[in-house]
Amino acid sequence: MDDKIGAAYVEEALRSLRGHKRLAEAAFAQLRDEDFFLQLDDEANSIAILIKHLSGNMRSRFLDFLTSDGEKPDRDRDQEFILEPRPSRSELMRWWQAGWKYVFDAITPLQSEDLARVVTIRHEPHTVLQAIHRQVAHYAYHVGQIVLLAKHIRGAEWKSLSVPRGKSAEYIAKMAGKHTDSDVQPVLGEEKPRV
């Protein structure tokens, strides 16, 4: 793989993952402790369950990422959907941070040539690029669920994490004032200076 393209991919994957993490944490900040355990129905996942599942998945997929299967033999995925006894908020946040540490510790040092290497997930071969992409999509899916649940729980007290309804034109005008064509850097090719 071209070194510039590979480096750009790793950088973009990390940027996306950091964004997913920040988005969920901004939702967590708006929740009361008891809100983490609210389920919309008996079959639905609570935010606490989603945190437990994500942290278990992150450990399994990214511990020894390049050298062992992404489904670790000591992972009990079904237990990730059970919260007994109920953990504290601080314990949930420890799980959350530990999971993300596995992700970033595994992806940050990757070089372009690593992206074509083959790793397995449940004995199924994936290139490193495919394995990362799979997880970026998986984490985005669950972070979206977390944000939806948090917004539902907080109702009218919810503070938007993106462009609030009715504020699109204002946001676009604000961004237009911040950036000019000379600010835009292409992903590939020569870099243009930022102002």
Instruction: Walk me through the domains of the chain, giving residue ranges and CATH numbers.
Output: 3-165 (1.20.120.450)
Whole-number Å distance between alpha carbons of 139 and 133: 10
**pLDDT (tens digit per residue) in 6-48:** 999 999 999 999 999 999 999 999 999 999 999 999 999 999 9
Answer whether 57's CB lies under 8 Å from 138's CB: yes
Buried b (16+ CB within 10 A) or exposed e, 73-106: eebeeeebeebeeebebeebeebbeebbebbeeb
What pTM did the predictor assign? 0.88
pLDDT digits (tens, 9 = 90+) for 144-177: 999 999 999 999 999 999 988 888 998 898 889 8
**Residue whose C-alpha is closest to residue 10's, from 103, 102, 98:** 103
